[in-house]
Amino acid sequence: MNASKNAPKTCIIGAGISGLARAWQLQRSGQDCTVLEQSALAGGAVRSHREGDTLAEEGPNSILLNSHEIEAFLNSVPGLQESIVEACPAANKRFIVRNGKPHAVPMGPLSAITTPLWSFVAKLRVLKEPFVRPAPSDGEESVAEFVRRRLGDELYRYAINPLVGGIYAGDPEKLSLPHAFPNLHALDQNHGGLIRGAIAKVWAARANKIPKPRKRIISFKDGMAELPEKLAAALSDDLHTAVSIDSIRQSDTQWTVSWTSPCGMVTERLFDQLIVTAPAHRLPHLPFDSILKQHLGSLGAIDYPPVSVLSLGFKRTNVAHPIDGFGVLVPECEGRKVLGVLFPSSVFSKRAPQDEVLLTAFVGGERQPECATIDTQTLIATVLPELEQLLGVTGQPTFVHHKHWDKAIPQYKLGYSKHLAKIKWIEQRYSGLHLAGNYCTGISLTNCLEAALDC
C-alpha cells in the first residue's frame, strides 16, 4: 500500500506482534511506516517449529478471537484468511490437577455441582460470593487476595492459582488484580461481585440486543508464526530485520533514527512519530540520550520470569489419558515442576504424525524460575515422570523440541500503576514518542492486537 507524499512518517522499533500489527494498521490507513527489528526473524514471542509432520509452538499456541474488529484486521492481511484453522470443539474442555489426577473444569451449573475438583464446602462458599462487599476502591488487591475474599481459599488454590500459572506463568500473590485481570476488578467495583456482574452483563446484552461475537480459538495451518510471517510479507521493504539501531535523537517534535543493516549499510531517517514496542527490559539498552535512558530505566525493572517450553511427541498408544481437551493446569499446592501441559494435537489437526500425539509442557515462571533454566536432557528427565503420573504417558518421546525463554512474560505486579504513570509521563514529556507492547496494554495476543487497532 503506497503512502501519500505528505502522510506522517512513523518508525516502529520491534517487529513482535505489537509492532507488526501497528505497522500494518498504519499502512492500511495510508501512512508511511518503517519497522526496525534486531532479530533476523520478525514475530518476537510468536514462533513455530516444524519437523516433518510435527508442528510445535515455541510461544503462543493460539489466539482467542473475540471481536469483529480483530477478525477484520486478520482478514486484511494478504493470504492469512485462507490459513486460519479453528480449534476443535474439544478445546473448550480444560483440566485441573487435584491429588495427582486431572479433573475436567466444570462448564455448566450441573457439572459445577457434581465435579470432584472442588469440595462440597468450597461449592457452598461460592454461594456467599454475591454477598461479599467490594474492596475499597482506593486499595490494590493481589489476585490471590481478591479470589480468597470472594470465593474462598479452595477455589483460589484449585481454580485461579493454576489459571494464573497458565496465563502469566505468574504468582497470584504478587500480581495486581486491577492490572492483571482488569475485567474481574471491574465486576467487583461496578457490580459488587463476580456473579452479580455476570448476571448484569447478560441482562445488559439482552436489553441492548448486542450481538455477542462468537469466541473462537484459532491458529494457522503452518502454526502461529504464519501471523507475523504474513504481516512481514505485507510490509515488504518497510520492514528491516537484523538491524542494529545506532542512535535515536529528538529534534523538536521529530525523531532521527540511524541504523545499520546486516550488510553494513548505515541509514538515517527523520520521523514524525516513534513507536517503541521492544520489551520493557530492553528499553534502557536503546540508544536514546542519557536523560531519556534514565527515565526508561525504571520500566526496565518490570519482571519477566523465565519459562521453558518443552514439546514432546508420543505414540498415541503410549498415552493412557484421552487428552480430549485444551490442556491441563497444575496448582502450585500439588507440588510439581510442570505448570501445565497443552494438548496441541487434540486442539488443532495436523500437529503430529498419524498415530502420534503432541504434548507441550511449561516449566518455570515465577513459581520455580530455577527449573526454566535447566538443560534439555535434565528437563526431559524432570517432565517425563510427571507426564506419566498425570496423563499415563509411558515410553520415550518420538519428538523433542525445547525452547527456553529467558524473559518470557511481563508480570503486572502490585504497584504496576507506577509503571503505567511513568509511560504516560514519558509520552507527554517526549512529543511523538509512544511506548507499546505487552507490558503496556495486556499480555495476550488479543490484547496486543486490540491495542494496535487503537493506535
Q: Which stretch in 31-39, 67-75, 144-152, 365-373 sits in contact with ligand FAD by CB under 6 A?
A: 31-39
Q: Which stretch in 12-20, 265-273, 351-359, 418-426 sits in contact with ligand FAD by CB under 6 A?
A: 12-20
263 to 282, contacts with ligand FAD by CB under 6 A? 277-279, 282
Q: Please report how close the Cβ of residue 435 comes to ligand FAD at its closest, in angstroms.
A: 11
Q: Judged by CB, which is closer to ligand FAD: 246, or 375?
A: 246
Any contact of residue 18 with ligand FAD (CB under 6 A)?
A: yes
Q: Please report how close the Cβ of residue 277 comes to ligand FAD at its closest, in angstroms.
A: 5
Q: Judged by CB, which is closer to ligand FAD: 300, or 353?
A: 300
Q: Judged by CB, which is closer to ligand FAD: 239, or 278?
A: 278
Given 85, 328, 408, 449, the residue binding ligand FAD (CB under 6 A) = 408
Q: Judged by CB, which is closer to ligand FAD: 243, or 390?
A: 243
Sheet order of strands, 356-364 included: 101-104, 94-98, 327-329, 338-342, 356-364, 307-315, 399-405
Distance, in Å, from the CA atom of 386 to the CA atom of 381, rounded to the nearest integer, reads 9
Q: Judged by CB, which is closer to ligand FAD: 14, or 397?
A: 14
Q: Judged by CB, which is closer to ligand FAD: 193, or 344?
A: 344
Q: How far is CA 53 from the centre of its chain?
A: 26
Given 28, 29, 39, 92, the residue binding ligand FAD (CB under 6 A) = 39
Any contact of residue 411 with ligand FAD (CB under 6 A)?
A: no
Q: Please report how close the Cβ of residue 137 comes to ligand FAD at its closest, in angstroms.
A: 29
Given 9, 10, 12, 14, the residue binding ligand FAD (CB under 6 A) = 14
- The candidate with the shortest Cα–Cα distance to 360, out of 401, 395, 305, 389, is 401
55 to 94, contacts with ligand FAD by CB under 6 A? 59-63
Q: Please report how close the Cβ of residue 389 comes to ligand FAD at its closest, in angstroms.
A: 23
Q: Please report how close the Cβ of residue 285 comes to ligand FAD at its closest, in angstroms.
A: 6
Q: Could you tell me the CA-to-CA distances from 295 to 245, 275, 292, 359 in Å, in that order?
A: 19, 16, 5, 43
Any contact of residue 248 with ligand FAD (CB under 6 A)?
A: no
Site map 422..441 versus ligand FAD, x via CB under 6 A: ---------------xx---
Q: Please report how close the Cβ of residue 290 comes to ligand FAD at its closest, in angstroms.
A: 17
Q: Please report how close the Cβ of residue 45 comes to ligand FAD at its closest, in angstroms.
A: 4
Given 220, 326, 343, 405, the residue binding ligand FAD (CB under 6 A) = 405
Any contact of residue 36 with ligand FAD (CB under 6 A)?
A: yes
Helices 143-151 and 182-191 cross at an angle (nearest 10°) of 40
Please tell me the count of residues contacting ligand FAD according to CB under 6 A. Answer: 37
Q: Please report how close the Cβ of residue 200 comes to ligand FAD at its closest, in angstroms.
A: 27
Given 23, 31, 33, 37, the residue binding ligand FAD (CB under 6 A) = 37
Q: Please report how close the Cβ of residue 244 comes to ligand FAD at its closest, in angstroms.
A: 8
Given 9, 11, 12, 19, the residue binding ligand FAD (CB under 6 A) = 19
Residues 6+ apart with CB under 8 A from 415: 140, 176
Any contact of residue 46 with ligand FAD (CB under 6 A)?
A: yes
Q: Judged by CB, which is closer to ligand FAD: 83, or 118?
A: 83
Residues near ligand FAD (CB under 6 A) are 13-19, 36-39, 44-46, 59-63, 245, 277-279, 282, 286, 307, 309, 405, 408-409, 437-438, 443-446, 448
